[in-house]
């Protein structure tokens, strides 16, 4: 977003038009091209600046997308495309804030705050927040988003701006205006510099869940987080924000609450495919805690290097999805299609591990028909490629 675009949006006319446009759309689909054309035509006919119309419609679209991360809070916030993409989901950010509170932290600096998602969660739990953002437009948006809370926003460099707080929070920007940045030295701030600062006082550092574990510092807690069915981040906790005796952890958040697994890296023993198949949450897999989960589930791995577990009885856990095995089939497309037709399966969820297939393409070629539904796992069992037909428990 350009500064002029934000200036227009923050004018009385801009904010009024944004609220009116959202209220009129009421979920009608501003993102649909036909609706966009219609709205642009209508608003320009009313005499509004074309630049303002574009800014308002873009913001209405971003707010609608943001509801998945921020719920009703999204209706009172402003966003940029990149800021929304990297922003922490509110439910996840609330856990960050909760850890700060549990550790006795009362003030925190959000260094590289973006649009202010984590700062918002910190402030709602009563922490005094100093949010620092070097991009002037993004800092202005964060100021707008945090205006109702005990939070101050500073336009400055994340590592050079002096802050007088008890703890630090970092979310290094991992992309520029054109692409994702694969080299941590190119992140903003650079990852080595962030780790060096985090070694000086308690800190939390949000990273992509696929971060190379070899890059993570020793002596800190490494936590992976799954929200719903999506693994969204890894966090490095330092100082008193890192729990004693916990080197790595997997946190799974769902509507029903939170579940966590801690321990040392462990891998499960290999065994036979049994009555139930378990798909561990991504956080458990990323944290290399599959062995610990297998012990809880009285299960074994179905094949070496495959992150599916199997056990003789169902043990409920929020740390994995459970499936009841129907049968195992040879990995032969024609044979699978014939069997699915015989069973009347018209709705098929396809999962894969250790097999080079495209689920969408396979589903199309299977030509499904019928009233039944099932899940098909295309994977390895005992080292050999197989298809497992199962039902969600």
Q: Distance of alpha carbon 88 from its chain centroid, rounded? A: 7
- Percentage of the residues of the chain whose pLDDT score is greater than 90: 81
Q: How does residue 120 score in pLDDT terms, banded at 50, 70 and 90?
A: very high
Q: What is the model's pLDDT at position 250?
A: 98
CA distance 100 to 78: 26
Q: Read off the pLDDT of each residue in 286-302 and give the average, rounded to a whole number.
A: 97
> Pick the residue with more confidence: 16 or 182?
16
pTM of the entire structure?
0.89
Task: Give pLDDT tens digits for 298-308.
Answer: 999 999 999 99
Q: What is the model's pLDDT at position 154?
A: 97
Task: Give pLDDT tens digits for 201-252.
Answer: 999 999 999 999 999 999 999 999 999 999 999 999 999 999 999 999 999 9
Q: Read off the pLDDT of each residue in 266-270 and give the average, rounded to a whole number.
A: 94
Spatial neighbors of 343 by CB under 8 A, at least 6 apart, are 370, 372, 374, 389
Q: Which fold has domain 84-260?
A: Rossmann fold (3.40.50)
Q: What is the model's pLDDT at position 22?
A: 80
Q: How does residue 29 score in pLDDT terms, banded at 50, 70 and 90?
A: very low
Phi-psi region of 383 (alpha: psi -120 to 50; beta: other; left: phi over 0): left
Share the mean pLDDT of the chain.
92
Please determine, for residue 312, whether its predicted confidence score (pLDDT) is greater than 60: yes
| DSSP structure class, residue 244 | T
Cβ–Cβ under 8 Å, residues 158 and 110: no
Q: What is the model's pLDDT at position 1?
A: 83
Report the DSSP beta bridge partners of residue 391. Answer: 324
Counting every residue written for the chain, the total comes to 393
Looking at the chain, the number of H-run helices and the number of E-run strands are 13, 16
Domain spans, the chain:
3-64, 84-260, 276-392
Task: Give pLDDT tens digits for 137-181.
Answer: 999 999 999 999 999 999 999 999 999 999 999 999 876 666 777
Q: What is the model's pLDDT at position 177?
A: 62
Task: Give pLDDT tens digits for 332-384.
Answer: 999 999 999 999 999 999 999 999 999 999 999 999 999 999 999 999 999 99
Q: What is the model's pLDDT at position 39?
A: 75
Task: Determine what percent of the chain falls in helix, strand and coil, rounding each to the nearest 5.
Answer: 35, 25, 35
Please determine, for residue 34, whether its predicted confidence score (pLDDT) is greater than 70: no
Query: Hey, what's the torsion of the CAs at 101, 105, 111, 116, to 10 degrees?
Result: 40
Cβ–Cβ under 8 Å, residues 123 and 150: yes
> Pick the residue with more confidence: 1 or 178?
1
Q: Read off the pLDDT of each residue in 56-77 and give the average, rounded to a whole number.
A: 92
């Amino acid at each position: 977003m350009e500064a002029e675009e934000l200036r227009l949006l923050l004018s009385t006319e801009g904010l009024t038009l944004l609220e009116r446009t959202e209220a009129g759309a009421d979920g009608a689909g501003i993102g649909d091209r036909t609706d966009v054309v219609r709205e642009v035509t209508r608003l320009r006919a009313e005499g509004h600046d074309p630049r303002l119309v574009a800014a308002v419609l873009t913001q209405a679209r971003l707010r609608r997308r943001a509801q998945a991360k921020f719920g009703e809070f999204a209706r009172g916030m402003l966003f940029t495309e990149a800021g929304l993409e990297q922003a922490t989901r509110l439910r996840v950010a609330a856990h960050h804030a909760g850890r700060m509170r549990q550790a006795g932290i009362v003030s925190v600096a959000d260094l590289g705050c973006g649009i202010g998602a984590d700062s918002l969660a910190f402030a709602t739990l009563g922490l005094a927040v100093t949010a620092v953002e070097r991009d002037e437009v993004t800092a202005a948006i964060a100021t707008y988003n945090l205006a109702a809370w005990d939070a101050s926003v500073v336009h400055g460099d994340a590592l050079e701006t002096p802050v007088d707080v008890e703890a630090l929070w970092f979310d290094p920007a991992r992309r520029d205006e054109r692409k994702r940045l694969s080299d941590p030295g190119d992140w903003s701030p650079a990852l080595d510099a962030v780790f060096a600062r985090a070694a000086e006082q308690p800190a939390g550092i949000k990273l992509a869940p696929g971060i190379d574990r070899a890059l993570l510092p020793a002596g800190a807690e490494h936590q992976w987080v799954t929200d719903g069915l999506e693994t969204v981040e890894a966090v490095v906790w330092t100082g008193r924000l890192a729990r004693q005796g916990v080197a790595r952890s997997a946190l799974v958040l769902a509507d029903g609450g939170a579940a966590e697994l801690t321990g040392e890296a462990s891998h499960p023993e290999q065994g036979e495919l049994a009555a139930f198949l378990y798909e561990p949450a991504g956080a458990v897999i990323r944290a290399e805690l599959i062995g610990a989960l297998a012990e809880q589930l009285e299960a074994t791995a179905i094949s070496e290097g495959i992150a599916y577990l199997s056990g003789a009885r169902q043990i409920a856990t929020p740390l994995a999805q459970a499936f009841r095995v129907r049968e195992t089939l040879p990995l032969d497309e024609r044979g699978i299609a014939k069997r699915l037709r015989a069973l009347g399966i018209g709705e098929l969820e396809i999962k894969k591990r250790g097999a080079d297939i495209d689920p969408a393409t396979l589903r199309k070629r299977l030509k499904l028909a019928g009233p039944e539904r099932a899940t098909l796992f295309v994977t390895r069992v005992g080292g050999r490629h197989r298809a497992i037909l199962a039902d969600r428990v």
